[in-house]
Structure 1
Amino acid sequence: MKTDTTLRLTRAQYRSFAEQTKQAGCALSLSTFRALGNCWGIFDPRAKLVCLDVSADELKFTEGCGIQLSISVDAGRLRGNQRPEIDWSALEDHEIYPFIVAHEIGHRVDNFCYWDAARIADQQVRRRCESVIRSINEVLADRYAWSQIRPGEPVPLCELGKSLQEEVAGDIELMDKYMPRVRRQPRALPSGRYLHIPEKMLMSDVHVSFIGTGVSAAAIESARRPRTYRRDSRSRVF
């Protein structure tokens, strides 16, 4: 079924998606479409604070990359979004959230690395790779997501995608030659509803409710306690 309604993430969905993203080595947090810069999901490779176990009274932390997911999705707006290859209007309502999550996981497991372009000696090739890497990574993430949502089905091309098929194939071939993707499954995070939770998920009661009733009240209080950072003004001799 396809509608133009606003889809809202359920707690059961969050918990399922959190386990899915952990298999890709990512901790899942929630946000809003506007806070994400008008995106429904974002893969963030930068290290963020992650709580090892939010059911424990004393919080212990690690750092890791993560995926942020919008708490709601305007289905009509998403289907009308212009993509570089795949026609998102083919998605049914029940496929939208799984597709978004799989898309962000695709950025984690099957994308070109921006930094690799800096090692290309041929300046013309380097400029070409740098100019298309963002759109190509979107193509790859969309393809990965489609393969997870509808395995075995050919991707539905939008009109732009039909016109750029040869160009996209050529760019991927060029980048695979000069800055090949490293395709390996990331180390999975420990599974469990209360394990490896981004600290930001403890900052609001709404987000805590998505995790579950077993979140420690002491852990929440500790996470929300104001922290004082003191500047080290000691003189040093170099």
Structure 2
Amino acid sequence: MKTDTTLRLTRTQYRNFAEQAKQAGCSLSLSTFRALGNCWGIFDPRARLVCLDVSADNLEFTEGCGIQLSTSVETARLRGNQRPEIDWSVLEDHEIYPFIVAHEIGHRVDNFCYWAPARIEDGQVRTRCERTIRSINEVLADRYAWSQIRPGEPVPLCELGKSLQEEIAADIALMDEHMPRVRREPRKLPAGQYLHIPEVMLMTDSMVSFIGTGVSASAVAHARTRPRTYRRDSRSRAY
């Protein structure tokens, strides 16, 4: 079913998506569409602080990459978003959040490395790869998400996608030749409702409620009061 509505992430969905992200070696945190720069999801490859077990009174930390997910999605706005290949308007309401999460995981498991063009000696090839890598990575993440949401079904092309098929295929072939994707099985994070939770999820009571009632009050107090250094935001917006 397709409706013009605002989908709001439930706590159960968050917990299920968090476990899905861990299978790809990512922790999952929540934000808002506006705070994410008008994005519904972002894959952040940078190391960020993650709590090993938020049910324990004494917090222990590690670092790792993660996915950020908006707590709400306006369905009409998402379906009207112009993509380089796939027609998002075909997504049913119940497919939207799973698609977004799978898209971000796609950035993790099947994308070209943004730093790889720097190693290409041919200047013309390097320039072309640098110019197109962002859009190609969006295509690959969309394809991965579609394969997870509707396995076996052909990719539904938007009008732009139909006109760019030869160009997209040529760009992917060029990158595969000069800077091939390294497909490694991500190291899975430990499964568990309270394990490997981004520290940012402890900063507000509303975020803690998504994790569950077993979060340690001492852990929350420690996370909110400990000294920290803030860094300039340089994340790459997924869409």
Name the TM-score class by shorter chain: over 0.9
Task: Letter of the 1:138 partner, please give it.
Answer: E
Identical amino acids, percent of aligned pairs = 82
Task: Letter of the 2:78 partner, please give it.
Answer: L
Counterparts of 1:214-229 in structure 2, within 5 Å, are 214-227=214-227
Match of 2:235 in 1: none
Match of 1:194 in 2: 194
Counterparts of 1:49-128 in structure 2, within 5 Å, are 49-128=49-128
Closer, same or farther in 2 for the Cα pair 1:219/1:152, shift >3 Å?
A: same
Q: Cα RMSD between the aligned structures?
A: 0.8
1:144 and 1:72 mapped to 2: Cα distance?
Answer: 22
Task: Letter of the 2:66 partner, please give it.
Answer: G
Match of 1:19 in 2: 19
Closer, same or farther in 2 for the Cα pair 1:56/1:165, shift >3 Å?
A: same
Counterparts of 1:159-178 in structure 2, within 5 Å, are 159-178=159-178
Give 1:184 deviation, angstroms.
1.4
Match of 1:236 in 2: none
1:187 and 1:170 mapped to 2: Cα distance?
Answer: 31
Stretches of 4+ moved more than 3 A in 1?
Answer: none
Give 1:228 deviation, angstroms.
6.9
Match of 2:147 in 1: 147
The alignment's TM-score, normalised by the length of structure 1, stands at 0.95
Give 1:185 deviation, angstroms.
1.4
1:72 and 1:228 mapped to 2: Cα distance?
Answer: 29
Q: How many residues align?
A: 229
Closer, same or farther in 2 for the Cα pair 1:228/1:179, shift >3 Å?
A: closer
The alignment's TM-score, normalised by the length of structure 2, stands at 0.95
CA offset digits 1:130-179 (Å, max 9, x no partner): 00000000000000000000000001000000000000000000000000
**Radius of gyration: which is bigger?**
1
Task: Letter of the 1:216 partner, please give it.
Answer: S
Give 1:61 deviation, angstroms.
0.1
Runs of 5+ unmatched residues, structure 1: 230-238
